[in-house]
Amino acid sequence: MTAPAPAKIHPSPAPGPAADEGLARRLRALACTAPLHDLDVRKANLAGEYTVYAMAEVALAAIDLVTLNMDFDTGADHEQIVARLIPRIAAQAPQRPAAEHERVARWVLENLINVGSVDRGFRAVYGTFAPDGSYVRRDYDFKLIEEVPGYGGGVYLRTTDEAVNVLVGALDTDVTSAQIAAEVKLEVLISRGRLADAQLAAEQARYRTVQYSETLRRALDATRRNVRAVDWLEAVPDMIAEALDHVADRYRHENAILTNIRKARDEAEDQEHKRRAAELVDIVKDCIRRHTQLQSRLLEAGPLFRAEQDRQAFAPPSGRIGLDLYGQLVAPLLPLPVEQAIRVTDAFFARGTGLRTPTSVRVGDLVDILLTPPLEREHLGAEMPEPDVIATPDDSRFSEEQLARAMELLDLEHEAPRRLSGLLADARRIDPELPYLVALLAVHAASPPVGTAYRQGEQKLLFAVDDGTQLDDPEFGGADLIVGTALLDAAGMAADRTEAA
């Protein structure tokens, strides 16, 4: 897969730097949409007839799904996103196979991540005027969906700020106020019964909730790293108190909303309204779950601070002053141009990686190594040991030979059935043991395996019928069965089987 074609944009000369800056901002926003248009352009190049799918629509749906499924700790699960995208793709082309729908979902998602490039991102080139009036081409790098490490080494998906700002909507406002606004809007919408808009607002509220949680999580992480990095006198306690208030407030609020929507759900007559209200209940429940999660994190913060305080602040001060690696090296280094910064990192690398003992080979060993024939690759694996088989005694009553004789005897013309008594007498003449086998086979034939014969397409079938005649035999008693052979219509049966299948 190649990187999507960068959006080459040639702006007309701008009147001044200020206007140019605004233009650059809009060009960058425009560039964010390019990968989506590009999907629809490139779908024609795919092997297969994919023009029926509206790729940009699928891509926007994917970004929405990832945004809404971003979790507190990780992000959205790749497989889950694919699974949820498929219904929409299937709706676009219901007659196509499900495997193709999945392929489209994966193709779109991979292209939004831009799997083919090393940065897994996009680059657009645009031009601006430098303060001295010269025209400068610049690279704008951005991502839409990024892969982040999750719990247990998994890879999860997150939408980037670019994607959210440009593609999800104009959400670039203050977190807290936007959430309150969304909640109020939701309440109003529900009271007026406008559920379609209410769902949109609820989804936005949920996104706000996730964002708020993330902010707090990162602040707590910083505390774990260095107590002094965080103001535990005022800022953090304030922030925690604020967050706890927020959780309590939202919890109350959302429970109220939940009650309202449940009522709306139960009272709604319209099926569509009922379904939307039910979805809304799920969304609000999810919000409440996230708040509970946030609250438990907040409660952990105090003990964590005290433990870190013990470890970090109460240790006896060292007489030496160490190098402040972050403040004196990392922080000043990052804003430098890369060609200068690389000198510093190279110096650190050269002296910070320790040593490696070089491997050296003696010429004598080298000759041996080179002359050793390569090991034969074992394609078949290790040789199997010869199994030690113990011969089991042949304890069958009748031999193969006897069976063959009996079958020969019972191989009757289909028009000429015989009495069992006659067959037994014939058998007794051949072998004194044979009558027992013949009698056994005849008794079996009284209930012939018709089904098996039908399935296997047998030509004929041995059968036995009792007509009431007593068997007169020195060794056997019972009915003197009529044993005969029925011809089966093999061709007809075969035709039947095909039809049945």
Partner 1 sequence: MTDKDVETGTWGEPEARPAAAPVTPADAADAARLVSFGLQPKLLPARDAEYAELLRRYREDPPFARLADAVASGLGLVVLEVSPRAGMAVTAAEDSLFAVRMGDYARRASSDAGDRFLHGLAHLAMAALAFPRPEDLADDGYIGRITVNGVDAFVRQACQRLEERAEEAGENTDPASDAPGLESAWRIWARRSSTGATKDARRLAGSTTGIVSKAAAFLTDSGFLQRTGDDSGGTYRTTPRYQLQVRDMAGSAAMAELLDLGVVPVSDGSASLTVPTAGEDLELVAGAGLPFHADTP
Q: Between residue 340 and residue 369, which ones bind partner 1 under the rule CB under 8 A?
A: 340-358
**440 near partner 1, judged by CB under 8 A:** no
Q: Interface residues for partner 1 in 139-158 (CB under 8 A)?
A: 139-141, 143, 146-149, 153, 155
* Nearer to partner 1 among residue 246 and residue 418 (C-beta): 246
Dist. CA 201–CA 184, nearest whole Å: 9
CB of residue 177 vs partner 1: minimum separation in angstroms?
A: 11
**250 near partner 1, judged by CB under 8 A:** no
Distance of CA 201 to the CA centre of its chain: 28
DSSP string, 226-262: -GGGS-TTTHHHHHHHHHHHHHHHHHHHHHHHHHHHH
Ramachandran sector of residue 254 (left: φ over 0; alpha: ψ -120 to 50; beta: rest)? alpha
Dist. CA 380–CA 301, nearest whole Å: 60
Instruction: Give the interface segment with partner 1, choosing from 206-214, 384-392, 426-434, 485-493 (CB under 8 A).
Output: 206-214
Instruction: Give the interface segment with partner 1, choosing from 133-141, 254-262, 282-290, 476-484 (CB under 8 A).
Output: 133-141
Residue in 170, 321, 390, 391 binding partner 1, rule: CB under 8 A: 321
**241 near partner 1, judged by CB under 8 A:** no
Token pair of 208, please? 């706000």
For 403, residues 6+ apart whose C-beta sits below 8 A from its C-beta are: 437
CB of residue 296 vs partner 1: minimum separation in angstroms?
A: 19
CB of residue 28 vs partner 1: minimum separation in angstroms?
A: 8
Q: CA geometry: angle at 116 spanning 111 and 117, to 5°? A: 110
Residue in 83, 87, 161, 487 binding partner 1, rule: CB under 8 A: 161
Residue in 3, 93, 175, 430 binding partner 1, rule: CB under 8 A: 175
Residue in 26, 177, 221, 455 binding partner 1, rule: CB under 8 A: 221
Name the DSSP letter for residue 387.
Answer: P
* Nearer to partner 1 among residue 219 and residue 490 (C-beta): 219
**338 near partner 1, judged by CB under 8 A:** yes
For 406, residues 6+ apart whose C-beta sits below 8 A from its C-beta are: 398, 427, 434, 437, 438, 441
Neighbours of 276 (CB within 10 A): 19
**29 near partner 1, judged by CB under 8 A:** no
Residue in 239, 283, 298, 442 binding partner 1, rule: CB under 8 A: 239
Residue in 173, 296, 312, 470 binding partner 1, rule: CB under 8 A: 312
Neighbours of 283 (CB within 10 A): 21
Burial class (CB in 10 A: 0-12, 13-18, 19+), 413: exposed
Q: Interface residues for partner 1 in 71-130 (CB under 8 A)?
A: 78, 113, 115, 118-121, 125-126, 128
CB of residue 182 vs partner 1: minimum separation in angstroms?
A: 15
- How far, CA to CA in Å, does 26 sit from each of 23, 29, 30, 157? 5, 5, 6, 26
**472 near partner 1, judged by CB under 8 A:** no
